[in-house]
Amino acid sequence: MNKKLFGVLLSICTSVFCRAQEDQSSMYQWRRTVSREIDAPQKNINATHDTSLAEMIIQAVKVGELLAYNSYDAGFSHQLTLEEVLETNVDCQLDTMYIIDPKTGKETAMAPKKFDFSKIKKFEILEEWSFNPHSGKTKIEISGVAPVRDIYGDDGVYRGRVPMFLVRYSDVRAIIVRHDLMHPERTISSEIWKDCFSKDTNINLRQQKVTRRIDMEEKEDTVHHHLGNANKDTCLSLMFYCSIHANQMAAYGDPNFTIAADLSPNTILQTMKKTFDVDEIFDPETNAPRPINVMQMAETYFCSLHSYKILEEWKFDPVQGKTEIQITGIAPCYSPYDGDPNKKREYYPVFWARYNDTRDIIARYEQYHPTNTIAGHIWNDYFFTDIKPTPLETSVKNEKK
What's the pLDDT score for residue 155? 77
More confident residue, 103 or 201: 103
* Confidence check: pLDDT of 108 > 70: no
* Confidence check: pLDDT of 194 > 60: yes
More confident residue, 184 or 24: 184
Do 171 and 267 lie in a common domain? Answer: no
Do 80 and 216 lie in a common domain? Answer: no
Mean pLDDT value across residues 317-326: 90
Please count the structural domains in the chain: 2
What's the pLDDT score for residue 230? 43
The span from the first CA to the last CA of the chain, in angstroms, equals 69
124 assigned to some structural domain = yes
Do 225 and 174 lie in a common domain? Answer: no
Strand duo 137-152 + 68-69: pairing: unpaired
What's the pLDDT score for residue 120? 86
* Confidence check: pLDDT of 273 > 90: no
What's the pLDDT score for residue 286? 67
Do 187 and 226 lie in a common domain? Answer: no
What's the pLDDT score for residue 231? 46
SS3 383: helix
7 assigned to some structural domain = no
Mean pLDDT value across residues 16-32: 56
- Please state the pTM of the whole predicted model: 0.77
Average pLDDT over the chain, rounded to an integer: 77
- The percentage of residues in the chain with a pLDDT greater than 90, rounded to a whole number, is 26
Burial status of residue 373 (CB atoms within 10 A of its CB: 0-12, 13-18, 19 or more): buried
What's the pLDDT score for residue 276? 58
What's the pLDDT score for residue 221? 45
* Confidence check: pLDDT of 91 > 60: no
10 assigned to some structural domain = no
Q: CA quadruple 261, 266, 268, 274: dihedral positive or negative?
A: negative
| Per-residue pLDDT band at 295 (split at 50, 70, 90) | low
Query: Is there a contact between 340 and 281 (Cβ–Cβ < 8 Å)?
Result: no
* Confidence check: pLDDT of 128 > 90: yes
In this predicted model, what pLDDT tens digit does every residue of 322-357 receive, in sequence order? 999 999 999 999 887 666 767 777 888 999 999 999
Residue 247 backbone class (left: φ over 0; alpha: ψ -120 to 50; beta: rest)? left
DSSP 148-206: EEEEE-TTS-EEEEEE--BEEHHHHHHHHHHHHHH-TTS-HHHHHHHTTS-TT----SS
* Confidence check: pLDDT of 303 > 50: yes
What's the pLDDT score for residue 219? 45
| Per-residue pLDDT band at 60 (split at 50, 70, 90) | very high
- Range with the largest mean pLDDT of 3-17, 234-248, 383-397: 234-248
Do 253 and 369 lie in a common domain? Answer: yes
CA distance 122 to 51: 16
> Of 195, 225, 251, which residue constitutes the final position of a domain?
195
> Of 171, 195, 219, which residue constitutes the final position of a domain?
195
Its domain, for residue 366, covers: 210-400
* Confidence check: pLDDT of 66 > 60: yes
| Per-residue pLDDT band at 68 (split at 50, 70, 90) | very high
24 assigned to some structural domain = no
Mean pLDDT value across residues 175-202: 79
> Of 195, 228, 247, which residue constitutes the final position of a domain?
195
DSSP 4-16: HHHHHHHHHHHHH
Mean pLDDT value across residues 105-122: 68
CA distance 361 to 243: 9
Do 186 and 249 lie in a common domain? Answer: no
160 assigned to some structural domain = yes
Do 314 and 378 lie in a common domain? Answer: yes
Do 325 and 176 lie in a common domain? Answer: no
99 assigned to some structural domain = no
* Minimum mean pLDDT range among 162-166, 211-215, 337-341: 337-341
| Per-residue pLDDT band at 185 (split at 50, 70, 90) | confident
Mean pLDDT value across residues 248-277: 79
More confident residue, 217 or 242: 242
- Range with the largest mean pLDDT of 43-47, 176-180, 221-225: 176-180
What's the pLDDT score for residue 124? 93
* Minimum mean pLDDT range among 24-33, 154-163, 312-321, 360-369: 24-33
Do 294 and 263 lie in a common domain? Answer: yes
Do 226 and 186 lie in a common domain? Answer: no
What's the pLDDT score for residue 357? 95
What's the pLDDT score for residue 114? 60
Do 335 and 387 lie in a common domain? Answer: yes
* Confidence check: pLDDT of 289 > 70: no
201 assigned to some structural domain = no
* Confidence check: pLDDT of 193 > 50: yes
Do 188 and 266 lie in a common domain? Answer: no
134 assigned to some structural domain = yes
What number of residues does the chain have?
401
What's the pLDDT score for residue 227? 39
